[in-house]
């Protein structure tokens, strides 16, 4: 009939000091990722939209929305305009990239953790394709770095 309640001398595991620190740290990290991730996702979506919407634009429009390319190459009636983008700036970063089957390649010398190499393929004055290369973002916003350079090219 009479149940006996035994109280432990140690605090319950949920309120153990180390557990509280771990719970608080996890909550703060989650909130930080959630709040900073919004811009990353938006830039990644802009990059995806640009790959679709830029096809068919003339090169003058590309020049207006992205500015002059960092490098160019021409083979026959096909031009490759290359842009490097990282953290909101368009600047040169370390990479070595072979473009399609054309055998064209570019390389230069510094390094960043995340950057995007954007290759705009222009055939007969019209954008035929937009390709992204490099460590351009994280698992959730995988094209985030590309969004900085192409954001003015999407509607």
| Least confident range of 18-27, 29-38, 51-60, 144-153 | 29-38
Rounded average pLDDT over 62-87: 92
pLDDT of residue 52: 93
pTM exceeding 0.85: no
| Least confident range of 32-46, 103-117, 139-153 | 103-117
Considering its fold, how many domains does the chain have in total?
Answer: 1
Q: Is 40 within a domain?
A: yes
Using CB atoms within 10 A of its CB, is residue 21 exposed (0-12), middle (13-18) or buried (19+)? exposed
Position 17 pLDDT exceeds 70: no
Higher local confidence (pLDDT), 127 or 115: 127
Of the candidates 75, 63, 70, 35, the one whose C-alpha atom is nearest the C-alpha of residue 127 is 63
Position 59 pLDDT exceeds 60: yes
Position 13 pLDDT exceeds 50: yes
Helix (H, G, I), strand (E, B) or coil at 107: strand
Q: Is 81 within a domain?
A: yes
Sheet containing 71-75: give its strands across: 71-75, 78-85, 116-123, 126-133
Listed in sequence order, the residues at least 6 apart from 46 whose beta carbon sits closer than 8 Å to its beta carbon are 147, 150, 151, 154
Position 138 pLDDT exceeds 50: yes
Q: Is 120 within a domain?
A: yes
Backbone angles phi, psi at 68, to 5 degrees: -70, 145
Range of the domain at 73: 13-153
Higher local confidence (pLDDT), 152 or 95: 152
Listed in sequence order, the residues at least 6 apart from 87 whose beta carbon sits closer than 8 Å to its beta carbon are 112, 114, 145, 148
Q: Is 101 within a domain?
A: yes
Position 45 pLDDT exceeds 80: yes
Q: Is 25 within a domain?
A: yes
d(CA 13, CA 56) in angstroms, rounded, equals 62
Q: Is 2 within a domain?
A: no
């Amino acid at each position: 009939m009479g149940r006996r309640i035994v109280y432990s001398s140690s605090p319950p595991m949920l309120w153990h000091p180390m557990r509280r620190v771990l719970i608080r740290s996890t909550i703060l990290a989650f909130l930080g990722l959630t709040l900073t991730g919004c811009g990353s996702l938006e830039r990644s979506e802009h990059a995806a939209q640009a790959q679709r919407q830029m096809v068919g634009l003339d090169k003058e429009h590309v020049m207006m929305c992205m500015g002059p390319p960092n490098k160019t190459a021409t083979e026959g009636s096909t031009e490759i305009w290359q842009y490097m983008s990282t953290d909101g700036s368009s600047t040169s970063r370390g990479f070595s990239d072979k473009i399609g089957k054309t055998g064209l390649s570019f390389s230069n010398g510094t390094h960043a953790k995340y950057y995007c190499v954007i290759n705009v393929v222009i055939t007969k004055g019209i954008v035929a394709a937009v390709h992204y290369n490099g460590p351009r973002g994280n698992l959730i916003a995988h094209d985030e770095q590309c969004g900085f350079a192409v954001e003015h090219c999407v509607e």
